[in-house]
Amino acid sequence: MSELTATRVRDAATKLGLPHLADNLTDLVTRADTKQMGYLDFLDLVTGEEAGVKDDRRFRNQLRLARLPHQKTVDEFDFTFQPDLDVRKIRDLATLEFIEHQSNIALLGPPGTGKTHLAVSLGVAACQAGYCVYFTSLDHLVTKLRAADAAGRLDNQMRPFLRSALLIIDEVGYRPLDRVDANLVFHLISRRYEKSSTIITSNKAFTEWGTIFTDEVLATAILDRFLHHCDVITINGPSWRLKDRLANLEQPPNDDQQPQA
Q: Which is nearer to ligand ADP, 76 or 100 (CB)?
A: 76
When CB distances are held under 5 to 8 angstroms depending on the partner's kind, the choice from ligand ADP, Mg ion, none that residue 123 binds is none
* Three-class DSSP category at 198: strand
Scanning 9-17, 71-79, 158-166, 247-255 for contacts with ligand ADP by CB under 6 A, the matching segment is 71-79
Selection from ligand ADP, Mg ion, none that 173 binds (CB < 5 to 8 A by kind) is none
CB 134 within 8 A of CB 162: no
Q: Which amino acid is at 255?
A: D
By CB under 6 A, the residues from 114 to 173 that bind ligand ADP are 114-117
**Other C-beta atoms lying within 10 Å of the C-beta of residue 145:** 21
Dihedral angle at the C-alpha atoms of 242, 243, 245, 248, nearest 10 degrees?
160
Helices (H) and strands (E) in the chain, counts: 12, 5
Q: How far is CA 209 from CA 14, 23, 32, 66, 249, in A?
A: 55, 56, 62, 27, 35
Q: Give the span between the Cα atoms of 186 and 127, in whole angstroms.
A: 26
Question: Other C-beta atoms within 10 Å of 74: how many?
Answer: 18
174 binds ligand ADP (CB under 6 A): no
CB of 66 to ligand ADP, least distance (A): 16
Among the candidate windows 108-116, 123-131, 156-164, 191-199, which touches Mg ion by CB under 5 A?
108-116
Answer with the entry of Mg ion, ligand ADP, none that 78 interacts with (C-beta below 5 to 8 A by kind): ligand ADP
Question: Which CB atom, from 21 or from 177, has the smaller least distance to Mg ion?
Answer: 177
In the complex, minimum distance from the CB of residue 80 to ligand ADP, in angstroms, rounded to a whole number: 8
End-to-end C-alpha distance for the chain, whole angstroms: 85
Query: Nearer Cβ to Mg ion, position 82 or 116?
Result: 116
Residue 112 site contact among ligand ADP, Mg ion, none (CB < 5 to 8 Å, cut-off depends on kind): ligand ADP
- In the range 115-154, which residues lie near Mg ion by CB under 5 A? 116
Contact positions vs ligand ADP (CB under 6 A): 72, 77-78, 81-82, 109, 111-117, 201, 240-241
